Amino acid sequence: MDDDVELRGLRERIYGADGASATPEMISRLAELEERRRAEPASIAAGAPEPPGKDAASPEADVSESERPDAGAPQEHPGTAASGRRPRALRWVLAGAGAAALVGLGIAIGANFAPPAASADPASAAYPELTFPQTVEDVISADILRDSGIDPSSTRYVATVSDFRVYLAQPDDGDGICIATFTSSDNRPWSVGCASGSAGPSAAFGIDGDLTVAVGDTDPSSVDGIPIRLSDSVTAYVAR
């Protein structure tokens, strides 16, 4: 099977609504294909020939004036893809930390949205995702978060893994980091947990028996499972 076709199929299977049924072999294969995909641009760049020096003969020297393109004519250049708001490509990472307790939200996502913040607090620079402006995709109803201890303006959607939508956020007092999750199949609030800033910039949150979500530069020996990088600061660990 073509690697690109297999990669698309594994992404749809693991990160879709049926992600909970994915086997450890599928997850390992996905990580292998993602690692191979990331290595390809580097290998191509390493083998690229050096550009000719200033003393090299210019091929334009042999072109007659009649064959030269009109200097006033517009020149076409390949377009470059605009960079996204934040990368979500999966990358291998070894990380971990002491697990933080989670409490269930227990109510469904509401239709009322909190007003998006213009930008995150500068103190959140340790977590790049929080420095981006909040969008509609990031918002969780303020009614849902009322007793959670989370600042509604700080929530940022990270990714969907094993049938869970993962959000990164900050406590309402700005001290620490939080993870909130919802089931992707029926949009049901599942859990929310926060780690105090005094405990350091890293934390791990147990979502269920098969999934742990770690934030920051965590200790790889403290979290079991296959690591899947979800964003700059967030890594999912799926049970083997």
Confidence tier at 124 by pLDDT (50, 70, 90)? low
| 215, 168 contact by CB (below 8 A) | yes
Q: How confident is the model at residue 3 (pLDDT cuts 50, 70, 90)?
A: confident
Write the pLDDT tens digit of every residue in 64-74.
Answer: 444 455 544 44
- Whole-model pTM? 0.52
Alpha helices in 1-141 (DSSP H): 3-15, 24-46
The whole-number pLDDT of residue 223 equals 86
The predicted-structure confidence for 6-30, as pLDDT tens digits, reads as follows 777 777 777 765 666 777 778 887 7
Cα(168)–Cα(181) distance, integer angstroms: 9
pLDDT digits (tens, 9 = 90+) for 206-226: 999 999 999 988 776 788 889
**Tens digit of each residue's pLDDT (9 = 90 or more) over 138-156:** 999 988 898 889 999 999 9
